[in-house]
Amino acid sequence: MAIMMPEADRAVLARRDEIVAALRAIVPGEGVIDSAAEMLPYESDGLMAYRQPPMVVVLPETTAQVSRVLKYCHEQGIKVVPRGSGTSLSGGALPLADGVLLGLGKFKRIRDIDFDNRVVVTEPGVTNLAISQAVAHAGFYYAPDPSSQIACSIGGNVAENSGGVHCLKYGMTTNNVLGCEIVLMTGEVLRIGGKCAENAGYDLMGLITGSEGLLGVVTEVTVRILQKPETARALMVGFAEVEAAGECVARIIGAGIIPGGMEMMDKPAIHAAEAFVHAGYPLDVEALLIIELDGPGVEVDELIGRVEAIANACGSTTCRISTSEAERNLFWAGRKAAFPAVGRISPDYLCMDGTIPRGALPKALARIRELSEKYQLGCANVFHAGDGNLHPLILYDANKPGEMERAEAFGADILRCCVELGGVLTGEHGVGIEKRDLMPEMFSEIDLNQQQRVKCAFDHLGLLNPGKVFPTLHRCAELGRMHVHGGKLAFPDLPRF
């Protein structure tokens, strides 16, 4: 493993049998897995380049059980790694050798569907797509739709602040979650937010969403549901140059048009997706835009005409407009299957996740091409073009000596490029272990220490998902102490309490 993780606590490992017995008393039956063979499926998440078997796996079914497990681990000084469906692409659920892997896969019930308030109260193990399916009969849906929505859980979406093809217009998870129940490392159960769109006090939901399992374990989520638009149609537009496609994206947004979704693929991704799904993608183009417009029928017809005119002005070579719901879904099927499709053309790949200002897209693509030549590795590019979220897929073969290391270096340089262009290290996959050591590229030591103080407020012993997000994890006492330099306090004129 190229990524360094916290050193295992030998004293905890020596008490493994005692710990397993205590956990079985809290979660009886088949709720504890401790054999090496049965724990194999839990040794990694979607970032399968890194693997580590856990000390033990616990699968609770109730909030009370989660609370008791966390309280026990807190009292015994045992690390805990929360896990949803295991689809994370940043290593956020990578286990620890001396830690308890807390799986939320049994939390699969939708507790309340409230159409009057347009919310659904769900347990975290419910899949993203299942929420939309549960309310579809009444003409509603849940807007965030990551490509893994058939498998990824809503609890994991909250942890990583997941997005999807419709996040440009309808927002990411943080814009669609109203409340949650969260269990702290001490076992204390908190309820934050609720069915009301506005809540008094600090925006704690904004803090919890995207916290990557470092602050608490989510056991219930209240999400906003929306009425399905009257009409939704998609355009599939091809370009002879990637730069022209990027210019088209900028002009559409500049014209005040906010599509329901706007995705972009380059030639390698187009060919892989078409061979996998047979969506009718043009194979003689360098870039493909899929642009969805939704709303009242008259408005959609008007916007389609405007978008088509913009695409023509940018030099589009092909333009196909969906004429049925089946055809619209087929356009999207290729894009949503791009990641597994690329798996057919390369033994392994790293799926990167960075975000740049939309106007910097041509520069980013040019830099990715340069890096591809430098590292002698292929790269297929898939983007949430509307909000600048890049997903370069770096192709490599882990069985060839040195290729994985080159792929990691290639990916790190792509993320550095995103920051240099005014963007950020992650758009929706999270930091996890993948981007952890790149955090100083974006944040100063002061910034990182302040973020860690937030973690200390929730988990002062640092037992919850350690080794993730922060390149250097300080003890909370170190972060809280008062620094004296040259015999003088900083800002001596400020009153001290």
pLDDT digits (tens, 9 = 90+) for 375-410: 999 999 998 888 889 999 999 999 999 999 999 999
- Distance, in Å, from the CA atom of 21 to the CA atom of 492, rounded to the nearest integer, reads 54
Residues 147-197 have pLDDT tens digits of 889 999 999 999 999 988 889 999 999 999 999 999 999 999 999 999 987
Q: Nearest to residue 109, comparing CAs of 159, 155, 68? A: 155
Do 232 and 328 form a contact (C-beta atoms < 8 A)?
yes
E-assigned strands of 200-255? 217-224, 226-227, 231-239
Whole-number pLDDT of residue 122: 98
Residues 233-279 have pLDDT tens digits of 999 999 999 889 988 998 999 999 999 999 999 999 999 999 999 99
Average pLDDT over residues 401-426: 96
86: phi then psi, degrees, rounded to nearest 5: 80, 20
Average pLDDT over residues 295-318: 97
Q: Is the dihedral of CA 479, 425, 104, 41 positive or negative?
A: negative
Do 214 and 272 form a contact (C-beta atoms < 8 A)?
no
- Distance, in Å, from the CA atom of 12 to the CA atom of 96, rounded to the nearest integer, reads 12
Average pLDDT across the chain, whole number = 93
Whole-number pLDDT of residue 4: 80
In this predicted structure, the answer to whether residue 116 has a pLDDT above a threshold of 60 is yes
* 3-state SS track over 102-149: EECCCCCCEEEEECCCCEEEECCCCEHHHHHHHHHHHCEECCCCCCCC
Q: Nearest to residue 288, comparing CAs of 301, 274, 302? A: 274
- Distance, in Å, from the CA atom of 291 to the CA atom of 411, rounded to the nearest integer, reads 27
* Tokens at 14, concatenated: 């020596």
232: phi then psi, degrees, rounded to nearest 5: -145, 125
Q: How confident is the model at residue 362 (pLDDT cuts 50, 70, 90)?
A: confident
Whole-number pLDDT of residue 485: 57
Least confident of 76-85, 252-261, 337-346, 461-470: 337-346
In this predicted structure, the answer to whether residue 476 has a pLDDT above a threshold of 80 is yes
Residues 47-71 have pLDDT tens digits of 988 999 999 999 999 999 999 999 9
271: left (phi over 0), alpha (psi -120 to 50) or beta: alpha
Do 267 and 378 form a contact (C-beta atoms < 8 A)?
no
Q: Is the dihedral of CA 22, 24, 25, 27 positive or negative?
A: positive
